[in-house]
Amino acid sequence: MNPYRVKWISRVHSDHSLSTGVKSVADVLASAGVFGQVALTNWQNINRNLKRPPRDTLVHRQIEELQQAGYLGRYQGNKYNQSRGWRLYLPEEESNLFEFSDRCA
């Protein structure tokens, strides 16, 4: 696992404001990455990795909790890579401020 992901998952696990279930989702996201800060997976695969039914909607609330805490954002790919997934953030990073301000607008 790359150093950023190690730091990210350590921070998520040490954040006592997050629920235990959210930390399990974070474990899946940290191991689902292909490069850098991006985890290329979807909510159904997260459920499968957690041994839940693929359409269990609890994962939506857990992903939202990570987003609200500033640890997670959407990744939409680019013109070369059309894959979608999740971008891992540390809450203090400026790079996630634009995404969160867009969501609030």
Whether residue 100 has pLDDT greater than 70: no
**Shortest CA distance to 100 belongs to which of 61, 26, 89?**
89
Whether this model's pTM surpasses 0.85: no
Terminus-to-terminus CA distance in the chain, angstroms? 35
| Number of domains, the chain | 1
pLDDT digits (tens, 9 = 90+) for 13-54: 999 999 999 999 999 999 987 678 989 889 999 999 999 999
Domain ranges, residue 74? 3-104
Query: CATH no. for residue 67?
Result: 1.10.10.10
Q: What percent of the chain has pLDDT over 90?
A: 64
Q: What is the dihedral of CA 7, 101, 38, 17, to 10 degrees?
A: 40
SS3 call for 38: strand
Q: Which residues share a beta bridge with 46?
A: none
